[in-house]
Amino acid sequence: MRLTVMSDYSLRVLMYLGANPEHRATIQEIATAYAISENHLMKVVHGLGRHGFVETVRGRGGGMRLAKPAEEIRIGDVIRAVEDDFALVECFRGQDNCRISKICRLRGVLGLALEAYFKVLDEWTLADLVDTPRNLFAELEGQLVPPPGPAVDRP
């Protein structure tokens, strides 16, 4: 399974906002920090707003911030919201033309794998990803600040 750029950028935006929840960030600021397209980021932020992850304030002094605390944003929920296709193989789709679907066990195995994938993502929140915000901002500025422990220190 492969996630789209939409998921990648969505998670990056949320991590940026989660690392400094009091700050209203702009699309330009985040695009510059990650060296990504502002136009594409506008679509990403629009989608995040529609799904209730981000709130935006227009006008002078405007920007965006998280719509709820980082502890309440599950990574699995973000992926489910921004991705539109989890049909790993043809038989997951409504119209199945596979000749062996009636006897094939692959659908069941891949279905279990997809469940396990989301089970892991649902155990992590945005807060877990940005528990050391200074490291994120230092890395974005090109300064490596080593994290205090291993990259993944939770089950």
35-68 pLDDT, tens per residue? 899 999 999 999 999 999 999 888 887 899 999 9
What six digits make up the tokens of 39?
A: 């136009």
70-82 pLDDT, tens per residue? 999 999 999 999 9
Domain presence at residue 153: no
Domain presence at residue 32: yes
Taking the model in full, what pTM does it have?
Answer: 0.80
Looking at per-residue confidence, does 131 or 37 come out higher?
A: 37
Domain presence at residue 146: no
- C-alpha 55/C-alpha 48 separation (Å) is 8
Domain presence at residue 109: yes
Domain presence at residue 13: yes
- C-alpha 57/C-alpha 25 separation (Å) is 10
What six digits make up the tokens of 47?
A: 């989608």
Domain presence at residue 152: no
| CATH code for the domain of 77 | 1.10.10.10
What six digits make up the tokens of 91?
A: 């038989």
- C-alpha 54/C-alpha 67 separation (Å) is 5
Q: Which domain holds residue 91?
A: 5-140
Residue 104 pLDDT level (bands cut at 50, 70, 90) = confident
**C-alpha distances in angstroms, 49 versus 56, 63, 77?**
7, 12, 14
Domain presence at residue 151: no
Which residues fall within 8 angstroms of residue 151, CB to CB, at 6 or more apart?
A: none
The count of structural domains within the chain is 1
Domain presence at residue 150: no
